[in-house]
A and B are shown apart, each in its own frame.
Chain A
Amino acid sequence: MITAERKPLEEILAYIKPFKRILLLGCNECVTVCAAGGRKEVGLLASALQMSRLKEGNSIDIREHTLERQCDPEYVEELVPMIDSADAVLSMACGCGVQQLAMRFKEKPVFPAVNTKFMGGSERHGVWTERCQGCGDCLLGLTGGICPIAKCAKQLMNGPCGGSANGVCEISDDVECAWHLIWERLKALGLTDQYMEIMPAKDWRPAGGGGPRKIIREDLAE
């Protein structure tokens, strides 16, 4: 999923300072899973904003609503009846959702309440780690299912580097050396010969090096 973390309250308050009526929107997908912007977090933020503004003597009207997703126009359309009664929109969705709102409601100020972080998965409840950087040319089949681009601090395709020690990356004891993990996997799979193959220099175009990316499915798009 896409992970995110709530922005500091101070920053959010600064965005909405001039506004009296806010539509606070959560998203029921990724940000719910990583406990950053789902229904519950919307409730917490609404309460926190109410109390902060009360303290300043600048009361605020907050309407809370959570969409199934904020990255699809069909769901965002549901907001049409609610939008006029808001001076601004505060979204707890990832950057994709925030932008979808801004595209649909061109006259309405839209602000992000979370910082979108990375594409990742759960290690265990409450811990999420980066797993994918969307390089557009997945090589997980060659590295025992572990991504050197997302998980190696230097995105080495022929690692490890000389800084790998005790299975840990040179940048921190908390970061596992991706190539150590890949090597262990290749061993477990009996594919150690594969290690000797040199991965040639990567074409970064599918990874965004060719500009902002787009997918068009001819069979689906009208």
Chain B
Amino acid sequence: MKTQSNLEKVLAAGHLAVTSECGPPRGASAETVVEKAKYLEGVVDAVNITDNQTAMVRMSSFAGSVLVKQQGMHPLLQMVTRDRNRLAMQADILGAYALGIDTMLCLSGDHTKFGDHPMAANVHDIDSIQLIQMVKQMRDEAKFQGGADIKGVVPKMFIGAAANPFADPFELRVMRLAKKIAAGADFIQTQCIFNVEKFEKWMEGVRDMGLHKKCYIMAGITPMKSVGAARYMKNKVPGMDVPQELVERMGSVEKENQPEEGIAICLETIERLKKVEGVAGFHIMAIDWEEKVEEIVRRADLYPRPQV
């Protein structure tokens, strides 16, 4: 065990782990975070707190994580390299750990062009892989990125990264994962999976390189609310692969039945993925539909969550 992280304990014990996410509000309301997080209480092993997602300013993932921790849940601090330099990131890591946060996800972050501040600088002092290296060095060598020793308590983060089996070029996607693991990633959360065949192909490559043994791979899942949502994800979101037959399936039912169809697809996907060797758990991203996570977890036979 590298850390005290609850997520690490669940994964190390051999259970299928479950995580979900909570997007902080575009205002300063602590209550909003608490309310959203309540939907996930007892349902997940860790809660991702997003970091200025799609480059829209929101309450910081740091603050959101602290609020979630205060509710007795396990926050997963997401950190993008887009908004801060290495000094600020290391400072945040020290602060987060001091406040009981021990699990984090290292990301580049969507370009500012997508958000509400397209005029802002894209910092990227370091990229996501260099961030993974940095967090690992802090944990395992007790050193800052610049080389100096960390004094006193050393932050021991369980380090996560994102992987997208569906982005281009496909041949690079397994190598990219290998690079993140070589840099120090302990676990991975993938982009949400609709094209299970393509994901299975990616996993073949992953297993060929033995990567599933070096790192816990959690499959990303998103339930579709409507045929409109399906189309939007297919056409407007970069790096997503939504097969046409799923869009048609969503469109083939009446509007009021579409949510249930979306959940059905979601549950079928989970069942298929449970059978894929190397899948260590599920990361359920129910955007604007957080209340459904508990139902999905229960109906997928992943409830209750193990107490480790």
Contacts of B238 in A (CB 8 A): 162-163, 165, 170
Question: Any chain B CB within 8 A of the CB of A95?
Answer: no
Q: Are A157 and B130 in contact (CB under 8 A)?
A: yes
**Interface-facing stretch out of A134-142, A195-203, A210-218:** A195-203
Q: Are A163 and B130 in contact (CB under 8 A)?
A: no
A165 to B110, CA, bound (A): 14
B141-192 interface with A by 8 A CB criterion: 145, 162-164, 167-169, 172, 175-176, 178-179, 182-183, 191
Q: Determine how close the nearest CB of chain B comes to the CB of A116; give it in whole angstroms.
A: 18
Question: Any chain B CB within 8 A of the CB of A155?
Answer: yes
Q: Are A154 and B167 in contact (CB under 8 A)?
A: no
Contacts of A163 in B (CB 8 A): 110-111, 167, 238-239
Q: Are A201 and B167 in contact (CB under 8 A)?
A: no
Question: Any chain B CB within 8 A of the CB of A44?
Answer: no
Are A155 and B124 also in contact (CB < 8 A) when A162-B162, A167-B168, A198-B129 are? yes
User: 1/0 per position for A177-210, CB-CB distance to B under 8 A?
Assistant: 1001001000000000001101111101000000
B129, B162, B169, most chain A CB atoms within 10 A: B169
Question: Any chain A CB within 8 A of the CB of B125?
Answer: yes
Number of A-B contacts (CB under 8 A): 96
Q: Determine how close the nearest CB of chain B comes to the CB of A57; give it in whole angstroms.
A: 38
Among B163, B168, B169, B175, the residue within 8 A (CB) of A196 is B175
Q: Are A170 and B86 in contact (CB under 8 A)?
A: no
Contacts of A158 in B (CB 8 A): 127-130, 179
Q: Are B191 and A154 in contact (CB under 8 A)?
A: no
Closest chain A residue, CB of each to CB of B183: A198
Which residues of B line the A interface, CB within 8 A? 81-82, 86, 108-111, 113-114, 122, 124-130, 133-134, 145, 162-164, 167-169, 172, 175-176, 178-179, 182-183, 191, 238-239
Beyond A153-B122, A160-B172, 11 additional pairs, beta carbon < 8 A:
A154-B81, A156-B124, A158-B129, A163-B111, A163-B238, A165-B238, A166-B168, A171-B111, A196-B175, A201-B86, A201-B125
Could you name 19 residue pairs across A and B whose Cβ atoms are closer than 8 Å?
Answer: A153-B111, A154-B122, A154-B124, A156-B127, A158-B128, A160-B172, A161-B108, A162-B239, A163-B239, A164-B239, A170-B110, A170-B111, A170-B114, A172-B113, A183-B169, A198-B129, A198-B133, A198-B183, A201-B125
